[in-house]
Amino acid sequence: MRLDYLIKNAETIDGLGTPGYRANLAVQDDVIAYLGKEEPEASEVIDAEGLVIAPGFIDIHTHEDTWLLHESVAAEKLSQGVTTLTVGNCGFSTAPLLPGKEQLVQEAFPNFAEGNVPVKLPLTK
């Protein structure tokens, strides 16, 4: 089977706390399909000599609640390797928006009051 991408010769950090090791990583349909020493056949090969492959990073304390409604792709975070954001850990968040709490959220997040948020927040029943 021919895979979509092969990233070869990368220093690999697997997130398990073990020392890094040299490995090849292959992707098929946006999913990691292979990680190891072999070089499976791929449509595109990327030589990552001198570079590091690591799992996505988790940003455990962000205030991205309203920003994510504007920039749902979060390209700035992805370009830094961040694949997971934690929001609402300060005791407030824009979602889910409970019925009757619209005024409170508009006061806490002025962008909502000005109508600058292009998406409707989900209501929790």
Count of other CB atoms within 10 angstroms of residue 25: 20
Burial class (CB in 10 A: 0-12, 13-18, 19+), 59: middle
Q: For residue 17, which phi and psi values (nearest 5 degrees)?
A: 90, 0
Distance in angstroms (rounded) separating the CA atoms of residues 103 and 106 = 5
pTM, to two decimals = 0.59
Domain regions of the chain by residue span: 3-53, 57-113
pLDDT in tens, 24-64: 999 999 899 999 999 999 999 999 999 999 988 999 988 77
Query: CATH code for 3-53?
Result: 2.30.40.10
Query: For 79-109, what is each residue's pLDDT tens digit?
Result: 888 988 888 887 777 667 778 877 777 777 6
User: What was the pLDDT predicted at 64?
Assistant: 79
The Cα–Cα gap between 108 and 24 comes to 48
Confidence band, pLDDT 50/70/90 cuts, at residue 124: very low
